[in-house]
A and B are shown apart, each in its own frame.
Chain A
């Protein structure tokens, strides 16, 4: 069904269709609209989920964990400080092998209070064992949320999935949305280690140095196995509903000399810049990274690489740039742009490419000379 929706509403729409058993909700800008919309669905009887209006994000994730271990499908959403506040519990959810799906509406971190888009919140969750996917359009937010449940709950994965969308730039932007009838695309959840009072077991108790590393390794094994599950799910989605997604969205990359790598809406903005650069005779392409975890194999051999980070790791560099430098021998031009909602247009992105200098870092609006 075709309609117009915001990124937040698109996520809520997908959640309604997969019918989680339990939803934990706590407000934070710019995510709030998601849990508000779901509350509307629940109170109007369109969605028969248990809606727990928790008193904090830490409790939101703890409630998803407690519900999840009974075999229930769970969902929550957060942003920024909310995500950081639940950090202990995001680790727990992954370690407990619970397929929680969470929408993170990416927002900067204080102080000072800044409610605008930035990826540093989700990137601080990079090492928790969550799968992370970054979307760039309202349609993609909806489609990816549907896929997230199927991927998380797949028995080869059983890890939580975080669907990331840029605060305001996507969460509050109206775009066309074509909803589908998911049917059995998201099959019922069968959690193999769900609590059963008839066969009592201990969960998450003491593990010694002779065993703990094995449990951690199993997380990594599932993370690796998730690559195939993601591929198959994206293929199946395309077969059923006609929209194709990959680990990256590549735009005019085949014959490109220089490739712009970015995540979220900036990656979409880059496509416009690419067209402009091509008109000038610069053979540029855009590789918008969708999945950060598991991190895909990127084909950047022999290309010049411009990475745009809407995030930073102090004392090291742009987090995405660092990830890419760890994978490719190519020298990267690292651009830090869009922090705290700093405006970055396709013109700016085109400028980054025009003025690129291998092996250097450029803070947009700060560095005077590239």
Chain B
């Protein structure tokens, strides 16, 4: 039943696309309770807080967020205030997964089912936090690790990270990054968690469903969320959702989930695989790709084709 008419109308006016009936029924399921309250200190058009809004709606009030140094350490506000309506435990940059590991064990020892969710950026996940994360996954920690990926160290003013894509300009790669983006999802897959997924802030219903699903598993789960960043990627603030959708439609970001190792590609990525949007449409609005060498674009294009082929083969495998 569709009982959330207002949001349905608002979304049906979206210039991006109209909604299918199935998606409308998911909107109806999304709780009205807000856990990301007003007056965060997020930048205009921030997709980190947009994603977190749906993450917490999916997780509900019996949840603790563990946050390493990242944009979200700032977004939550200044002590003694907090803009998040669940307990938030802040911890040093490289320690989120280990801290969550202790927390989850303590809750379970006390007979509590409280969700322990790490919400970390790409620097805190792909770079400095990777050891603690790998350890926590290997030990089968009962938690959800969400990496919101804005493809650079956003909080410190956009320095290159392992998540920065090839060719992107950051303050420490002023000529464009010469290395490719680290495939953290493959690294996570090597730990064989019960559930892992990719998502994007631009597809909140999909993200909502994936968070709910991830939390239904015992043991570690991982969701990698693309979080376009207006000041970092240098596009205008109203375009964050559009950027996320362009990333998926061009194939630069692929939506899928892996349940006990079984891969299922998301519908938007399946469509993009058949007929990807020209990559230039994704790159052109972003200042970070300004003046990118056509050869680099060609490498990115080849990478997209390779990734699609690999994922399609995995999905088709029995």
0/1 interface trace, chain A 191-216, chain B, CB 8 Å (1 if under): 00001110011111111100100000
Least Cβ–Cβ distance between B139 and chain A, in angstroms: 7
Q: A50-B108, A195-B64, A200-B87 are in contact. Are A66 and B103 (CB under 8 A)?
A: yes
* Chain B residues whose C-beta falls within 8 Å of the C-beta of A197 in the assembled complex: 61-64, 86-87, 114
* Chain B residues whose C-beta falls within 8 Å of the C-beta of A71 in the assembled complex: 106, 110
| Residue B78 at the chain A interface, CB threshold 8 Å | yes
Give the one of A89, A207, A211 with max B CB within 10 A.
Answer: A89
* Chain B residues whose C-beta falls within 8 Å of the C-beta of A63 in the assembled complex: 98-99, 101-102, 105
* Chain A residues whose C-beta falls within 8 Å of the C-beta of B86 in the assembled complex: 197, 200
* Chain A residues whose C-beta falls within 8 Å of the C-beta of B106 in the assembled complex: 21-22, 50, 66-68, 70-72
* Chain B residues whose C-beta falls within 8 Å of the C-beta of A68 in the assembled complex: 102, 106
Give the one of A54, A55, A56 with max B CB within 10 A.
Answer: A55
Bound form: Cα–Cα A65–B94 in Å: 14
Determine which of A55, A196, A202 lies in contact with B76 in the assembled complex, contact meaning CB atoms within 8 Å.
A202
Query: How many residues does chain A have at the interface if contact means C-beta atoms less than 8 Å apart?
Result: 41
Contact status B132-A62, CB under 8 Å: yes
| Residue B90 at the chain A interface, CB threshold 8 Å | yes
Least Cβ–Cβ distance between B181 and chain A, in angstroms: 25
* Chain A residues whose C-beta falls within 8 Å of the C-beta of B84 in the assembled complex: 200, 202
* Chain B residues whose C-beta falls within 8 Å of the C-beta of A60 in the assembled complex: 98
A-B contact count (CB 8 A): 155
Least Cβ–Cβ distance between A189 and chain B, in angstroms: 11
Least Cβ–Cβ distance between B4 and chain A, in angstroms: 25
0/1 interface trace, chain B 80-120, chain A, CB 8 Å (1 if under): 01101111111110110111111111111110001000000
The SS class assigned to the B binding surface is mixed
Q: A50-B106, A204-B90 are in contact. Are A66 and B139 (CB under 8 A)?
A: no
* Chain A residues whose C-beta falls within 8 Å of the C-beta of B89 in the assembled complex: 66, 69, 195, 203-204
Q: A52-B139, A88-B92, A195-B64 are in contact. Are A201 and B87 (CB under 8 A)?
A: yes
* Chain B residues whose C-beta falls within 8 Å of the C-beta of A265 in the assembled complex: none
Contact status B109-A21, CB under 8 Å: yes
| Residue B138 at the chain A interface, CB threshold 8 Å | yes
Bound form: Cα–Cα A67–B106 in Å: 5
Contact status B131-A89, CB under 8 Å: no
Determine which of B76, B102, B105, B139 lies in contact with A205 in the assembled complex, contact meaning CB atoms within 8 Å.
B76
Bound form: Cα–Cα A49–B99 in Å: 17
| Residue B74 at the chain A interface, CB threshold 8 Å | yes
| Residue A59 at the chain B interface, CB threshold 8 Å | yes
Least Cβ–Cβ distance between A87 and chain B, in angstroms: 11
* Chain B residues whose C-beta falls within 8 Å of the C-beta of A49 in the assembled complex: 109
Bound form: Cα–Cα A55–B129 in Å: 12
Contact status A59-B95, CB under 8 Å: yes
* Chain A residues whose C-beta falls within 8 Å of the C-beta of B132 in the assembled complex: 55-56, 58-59, 62
Q: A53-B139, A205-B82 are in contact. Are A67 and B103 (CB under 8 A)?
A: yes
Give the one of B85, B88, B105, B135 with max A CB within 10 A.
Answer: B105
Least Cβ–Cβ distance between B266 and chain A, in angstroms: 31
Could you jot down 26 A-B contacts, CB within 8 Å?
Answer: A21-B109, A22-B105, A56-B132, A59-B98, A59-B131, A59-B135, A62-B91, A63-B101, A68-B102, A70-B110, A74-B102, A195-B87, A197-B114, A200-B84, A200-B85, A200-B86, A200-B87, A200-B88, A202-B76, A202-B79, A202-B90, A204-B91, A205-B78, A205-B82, A206-B73, A206-B79
- Can you add 5 more A-B contacts, CB < 8 Å, to A52-B139, A56-B131, A201-B87? A50-B108, A59-B98, A67-B102, A203-B87, A207-B78
